[in-house]
Chain A
Amino acid sequence: MPKAKVTFQDIGVSVTVPAGTRLIEVSEKVGAGITYGCREGECCTCLTKIVSGGENLAPPSILEDQVLKDNLAPRGHRLACQAQILGGELVVKPA
Chain B
Amino acid sequence: MAAAAITDSAVEIAPGVHWVGALDPHLRSFDIILKTANGTSYNSYVVRGDNGVAIIDTVKENFADDFFRRLESVAEYEEITTIVLNHLEPDHSGALPELLKRAPQAKVYLSSRAQMMLKALLKPTGEKAPEYIPVTTDDEVDLGGRTLRFLHTPYLHWPDTQCTYLVEDGLLFTGDIFGCHFCDNRLFNDTVGDFRFSFEYYYAHIMRPFREYVLDAIALIEPLDIQLIAPAHGPVLRHKPRDYVHRYRELATPRLFNEARSEKTLVVFYLSAYGNTRRMAEALAAGAESLGGVRVSLYDLEGGEAEIFTDLVEEADGLAFGSPTINADAVKPIWDLLSSLTTVNIKGKLGAAFGSYGWSGEAVRLIEDRLRGLKLRDPVDGLRIKLVPDGSELEQCRLLGENLARHLTGRIEHREIDMAALA
Is the C-beta of A56 less than 8 angstroms from some C-beta in chain B? no
Contact of B377 among A10, A12, A26, A70 (CB under 8 A): A10
| Chain A residues with CB below 8 A from B16, complex form | none
> Among A10, A28, A31, A71, which residue has its beta carbon within 8 angstroms of that of B113?
A71
Q: Is A33 an interface residue (CB 8 A)?
A: yes
Are the C-beta atoms of A33 and B348 separated by less than 8 Å? Answer: yes
Write the chain A residue with the least CB distance to B372: A28
- Least Cβ distance of A20 to chain B in Å? 12
B residues within 8 A CB of A45?
375
Q: Which residues of chain B come closer than 8 Å to A16, judged between CB atoms?
A: 416-419
Distance in Å from the Cβ of B416 to the closest Cβ of chain A? 5
- B residues 343-362 with Cβ under 8 Å of A? 347-348
Please name all residues of chain B whose beta carbon is closer than 8 Å to the beta carbon of A94 when the two chains form the complex.
348, 377
Distance of A50 Cα from B378 Cα, bound (Å) = 21
> Is A74 interfacial (CB 8 A cutoff)?
no
Bound Cα distance A33, B346 (Å): 12
Note all chain A residues with C-beta closer than 8 A to B146.
none
A1-53 contacts to B (CB < 8 Å):
10-18, 21, 26, 28-33, 35-36, 45
Distance in angstroms from B412 CB to nearest chain A CB is: 4
User: How many angstroms from the CA of A21 to the CA of B419 in the assembled complex?
Assistant: 10
Q: Chain B, interface size: which category?
A: 20 to 34
The answer to whether A13 touches B419, judged by C-beta atoms less than 8 angstroms apart, is no
Most central of B372, B375, B407, B419 by chain A CB within 10 Å: B419
Q: Is A62 an interface residue (CB 8 A)?
A: no
CA distance A18 to B380 in the complex (A): 23
Q: Of A13, A17, A36, A71, which is within 8 A of B379 by CB?
A: A13
Is B256 in contact with chain A by the CB < 8 A criterion? Answer: no
Taking a contact as CB atoms closer than 8 A, the residue among A13, A30, A35 that contacts B375 in the complex is A35
Known: A26-B422, A29-B422, A30-B417. A11 touches B112 (CB 8 A): no
* A12–B415 alpha-carbon span in the complex (Å): 6
Question: Cα distance A15–B416 when bound, in Å?
Answer: 6
Which chain B residues numbered 67 to 123 have a C-beta less than 8 Å away from chain A?
A: 112-113, 115-116
Q: Which residues of B contact A72 (CB under 8 A)?
A: 112-113
Tell me the total A-B contact number using a CB cutoff of 8 A. Answer: 65
| CA distance in complex: A18, B418 (Å) | 9
| Proximity string of chain A (54-93) to chain B, C-beta cutoff 8 Å, 1 when within and 0 when not | 0000000000000000111000000000000000000000
Smallest CB separation, B37 vs chain A (Å): 33
Instruction: Give B51-74 interface residues, CB cut-off 8 Å to A.
Output: none
Given A13-B415, A14-B416, A15-B419, do A31 and B379 touch, yes or no (CB 8 Å)? yes
Judge if B413 is at the interface, Cβ distance under 8 Å: yes
Instruction: Determine the residue in chain B with the shortest Cβ distance to A25.
Output: B419
Contact of B348 among A13, A31, A35 (CB under 8 A): A35
> With contacts A13-B379, A71-B159 known, what are 19 further pairs, Cβ within 8 A?
A12-B412, A14-B414, A15-B422, A16-B416, A16-B418, A17-B419, A26-B422, A29-B422, A30-B417, A30-B422, A31-B372, A31-B378, A32-B379, A33-B348, A33-B377, A35-B375, A36-B375, A70-B116, A71-B113
Instruction: Please state if A11 and B419 are interface contacts (CB–CB under 8 Å).
Output: no
> Are B417 and A11 in contact, with the CB atoms below 8 A?
no
Q: Find the A residue at minimum CB distance from B114.
A: A70
Q: Within the complex, what minimum Cβ distance (angstroms) separates A91 from chain B?
A: 12
Instruction: Report which A residues bind B (CB closer than 8 A).
Output: 10-18, 21, 26, 28-33, 35-36, 45, 70-72, 94
6 closest Cβ pairs, A-B complex: A31-B379, A35-B375, A33-B377, A12-B412, A11-B379, A29-B422
B residues near A71, Cβ cutoff 8 Å: 113, 159
- B423 beta carbon closer than 8 Å to chain A: yes
Q: Mark B360-385, 1 if CB is under 8 A from A, else 0.
A: 00000000000010010111100000
Would you call B417 and A15 a contact (CB within 8 A)? yes
B104 to chain A, nearest CB (A): 25
- What's the Cα separation between A10 and B410 when bound, in Å? 8
Residues of A within 8 A of B113 (CB): 70-72
| B415 CB contact (under 8 Å) in A14, A17, A29 | A14
11 CB contacts below 8 A, A to B, read: A15-B418, A17-B419, A18-B419, A26-B419, A31-B372, A32-B377, A32-B379, A36-B375, A70-B112, A71-B159, A72-B113
Query: Would B379 and A30 count as touching, CB distance under 8 A?
Result: yes
Nearest chain A CB to B417's CB is how many angstroms away? 5
Residues of B within 8 Å of A70, CB to CB, are: 112-113, 115-116
Chain B residue at minimum C-beta to C-beta distance from A26:
B419
CA distance A73 to B417 in the complex (A): 30
Q: A30-B422, A31-B377, A33-B377 in contact; A11/B115 too (CB < 8 A)? A: no
Q: Which of B374-423 touch A at CB < 8 Å? A: 375, 377-380, 407, 412-419, 422-423
